[in-house]
Amino acid sequence: MRTIELNKRQELILQIVKDNGPITGEQIAEKLSLTRATLRPDLAILTMAGFLDARPRVGYFYTGKTGSQLFSERIQKLTVKEFQSVPVVVKESASVYDAIVTMFLEDVGTLFVVNDESHLAGILSRKDLLRASMGKQDLESVPVSIIMTRMPNITTCEQDDMLIDVANKLISKQIDALPVVKKVMINEIEKNEIIGRITKTNITKAFVKIATEDMY
């Protein structure tokens, strides 16, 4: 369904629980002159959506939360792992020309640069490649390592990070994408193994999913 829109019976159930909670399903059914089985789907929807809370042998409570509060709570539980996409990478030794072609063919705004061990070495944005192409140098002879942004000037995220925190990073840093990394130790030195990417599009998809997903 789209955003949560309660029907008249569900609105009545909420009002009954507000006025009389805690109250059992049988008591709610009695007040509405309906059977418990008839109400079961409505009670399940209201409970799963967060409008009601259910306690065994006690009954239903009204949570007192608005639709916007429930939406906010759901957003704050989302993690990077649920919405990350496949990273588009190029090697440090790749030429600027190769990077431009890759960005065009993959239709992305950010490329992640990896070293020979496939660990994150840098990031390339559209602006980086545009700036490089404005000069007179031969783009096929200039390696991307010359123009890429390097650590520690790279903002990263991990799979278990909250999506809302990553969204704030994208906004505050004014960037289009973050690499999703896994920390690995190589010869006692911490490296970043790139395992995904999070973009503004990923964030938008997450918000749309929450707003339109089936809450049943």
Q: How far apart are alpha carbons 192 and 92 in whole angstroms?
A: 15
Q: Mean pLDDT throughout 24-37?
A: 91
N-to-C CA span, the chain: 9
Partner residues linked to 143 by β-bridges = 95
Say if 164 falls within a structural domain. yes
CATH of residue 46's domain is 1.10.10.10
Say if 1 falls within a structural domain. no
Q: Which two tokens stand for residue 29?
A: 């059914």
Boundaries of domain holding 196: 80-208
pLDDT tens for residues 125-181? Answer: 999 999 988 877 889 999 999 999 998 899 999 999 999 999 999 999 999 999 999
Q: What is the pTM of this model?
A: 0.69
Identify the domain boundary among 35, 66, 97: 66
Say if 153 falls within a structural domain. yes
**pLDDT computed for residue 105 by the predictor:** 96
**pLDDT computed for residue 47 by the predictor:** 87
Say if 117 falls within a structural domain. yes
**pLDDT computed for residue 148 by the predictor:** 95
The SS3 call for residue 205 is helix
Say if 73 falls within a structural domain. no
Say if 17 falls within a structural domain. yes
Residue 80: burial class (beta carbons within 10 Å; 0-12, 13-18, 19+): buried
Are 35 and 124 a contacting pair, CB within 8 Å?
Answer: no
> What is the residue type of 18?
K
Minimum mean pLDDT among 13-27, 44-58, 156-170: which range? 44-58
Could you give the number of structural domains in the chain?
2
